[in-house]
Structure 1
Amino acid sequence: MDARDVVKIGMSAERSLVVPPERTVGHFVPNMPMVYATPMMILEMEMASADAIAAGLESGWVTVGTEVDIRHLAATPVGATVRTVARVVAVERRLIRFEVEAFDEKRRIGEGRHARGLVNVAAFSKRL
């Protein structure tokens, strides 16, 4: 499968979540603040990126994260709503590049770039 046949620049998706205690730095690291953890923000950015292109993929194909270049700009407390946006900015044969952003109710809290590789699940599983 060639991603250029089904993924187009500009495809996008959004995700929203209310920050639970389980997604905070303080949940993972004792004595740290109970604010939205950077790895959890990146997870939402990756998932929004996958959502943006999932409908166009042929059966048996998925994408996996291959690159992240993210800046976490502001702390977000438990209970705040975070909206994550991903938009396709480049498509290669097996690689899709995204611009990603995250916002809470007040401001942009994260931004950057992410790439996902196109993978045939059956062939990938054989190699494992």
Structure 2
Amino acid sequence: MNSAIKITVGAEAGATTVVTKELTVRHSHSNMPEVYATPCMIHLMEIAASNAVQPYLPAGWVSVGVDVNIRHLAPTPVGRTVTAYARVTKVTHKLIEFEVLAHDGKNLIGKGTHSRAPVNLARFEQTLSGLSA
């Protein structure tokens, strides 16, 4: 991690979405219930975590997800607003660890942990271009 990056334990942020039919498990699997899909909830948690640390990163840097350990606790129907929250719990020389949760206005629908790594975007994209098929 760049030594100029000073991320504070306790930094937090959120992200919100309204559950639409496109965000339900039925959208991908017609025989499943029309409820908020677990991958969509995890994605929202990742956005919240990214939002929590982006202000601490130098220009040209972003964070990328490297680990998720999430439990989906309750179903959420179409029309509800889901808010994910992320709080930094630990910062090491390579990773930022978070406690994450999601709530749909009535229930805690998910919780767990997530880790992200800060990366220089230009360098990351250069490495990626070398992997092209």
TM norm structure 1: 0.95
Cα RMSD (Å) of the superposition?
Answer: 1.1
Distance 1:41 1:122 in 2: 28
Q: Say if 1:2 and 1:94, in contact at 8 Å, map to a contact too.
A: no
Deviation, structure 1 residue 94 = 2.2
TM norm structure 2: 0.91
Distance 2:47 2:103 in 1: 15
> Deviations 1:29-76 (Å, cap 9, x if unpaired)?
112111000000000000000000111110111100000000000000
Distance 1:21 1:2 in 2: 44
Q: Secondary structure at the match of 1:55?
A: helix
Percent identity, aligned pairs only?
50
Distance 1:113 1:49 in 2: 10
Number of equivalences: 127
More displaced stretch, 111-120 vs 12-21: 12-21
Residues 1:121 and 2:121 are matched in the alignment: yes
| 1:21 partner amino acid | K
Residues 1:2 and 2:32 are matched in the alignment: no
Task: Structure 1 unaligned segments of length 5 or more: list them.
Answer: none
